[in-house]
Amino acid sequence: MADLKSCGLTDAQINALPLAPADALPFDEPSAALGILYVIEGSTLGGQVIAKRIREKLNLTPDLGGHYFSSYGANVMPTWRETKAVLDAPPIAVDADRVIHGAELTFEFLSTWLA
């Protein structure tokens, strides 16, 4: 929300933006949820690359328009390592095909929703 405000959007404009439906992704299916986790948390790594570029090219900082891409700040790698540990040794039995399906659905959903 802070990024949108720093780009000049008002609270009313932000509140009028479309929200993702709560049931858009299969969070209630453990194997698929791990695939969703992989995509969402993995994007924090890519966000670091994007954050660097937008600082260089657009002069956006975490405090001014670039907060989203800065995600966990200095904690990106420790958080990713924790996530990866769960993905590498899940605390539940998983179906690898459903994990992949959850990841694919997430990529498709985000692509469609953001378009």
Contact (Cβ atoms closer than 8 angstroms) between residue 37 and residue 87:
yes
- Give residue 15's pLDDT: 94
The per-residue pLDDT for range 75-85, each reduced to its tens digit, is: 999 999 999 99
Measure the CA angle with vertex 9, ends 5 and 14; round to 5°: 90
Q: Is the pLDDT of residue 88 over 90?
A: yes
Averaged pLDDT, 17-35: 89
C-alpha radius of gyration, the chain, whole number:
16
- Give residue 6's pLDDT: 84
For the chain, give every domain's residue range: 1-7+28-76+94-115
Task: State what percent of residues in the chain have pLDDT above 90.
Answer: 55
Q: Is the pLDDT of residue 86 over 90?
A: yes
Q: Is the pLDDT of residue 69 over 90?
A: no
Q: How far apart are the C-alpha atoms of 27 and 33, rounded to whole Å?
A: 5
List for the chain the helix, strand, coil content (%; round to 5).
70, 5, 30
Question: Which residues of 30-71 form beta strands (DSSP E)?
Answer: none
Q: How far apart are the C-alpha atoms of 73 and 25, rounded to whole Å?
A: 27
